[in-house]
């Protein structure tokens, strides 16, 4: 997992030092599972099963965040507002 440290200036001009475990990075692309060649029934069945797994995953992530008292700490940062960026793999 990536740990990113940086100095951040928010939209109100407040400057702070930040450390973030990176779970998603900026992108201009759409990512997903291409179901073009599947029939409608298979798409629906897959989507329902996939969403059930996703909900289970999110519940486990939320439980982990609560264990470490991080349940309300998910943040989004604007890359252009970052300075002195240091990225390391942990």
Is residue 29 assigned to a domain? no
Residue 80 lies in a domain: yes
Q: Is residue 30 part of a domain?
A: no
Look at the block and give the residue holding tokens 């989004």. Answer: 76
State which residues form the domain around 82. Answer: 2-24+35-89
78, part of any domain: yes
The structural domain count of the chain equals 1
Question: For residue 58, is it within any domain?
Answer: yes
The answer to the question of residue 57 being in a domain is yes
CA angle 69, 71, 72 (to 5 degrees): 110
For the segment 19-73, what is each residue's pLDDT rounded down to a tens digit? 999 999 888 899 999 999 999 999 999 999 999 999 999 999 999 999 999 999 9
Kind plus residue range of the DSSP H or E element containing 83 = strand 82-89
Q: Report the predicted TM-score, pTM, of the whole model to 2 decimal places.
A: 0.76
The verdict on residue 79 lying in a domain is: yes
């Amino acid at each position: 997992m990536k740990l990113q440290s940086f100095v951040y200036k928010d939209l109100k001009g407040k400057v702070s030092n930040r450390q973030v475990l990176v779970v998603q990075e900026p992108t201009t692309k759409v990512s997903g599972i291409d179901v073009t060649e599947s029939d409608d029934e298979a798409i629906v069945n897959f989507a329902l099963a996939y969403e059930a797994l996703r909900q289970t995953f999110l519940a486990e992530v939320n439980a982990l965040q609560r264990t470490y008292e991080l349940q309300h700490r998910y943040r989004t940062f604007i890359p252009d507002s970052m300075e002195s960026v240091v990225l390391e793999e942990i």
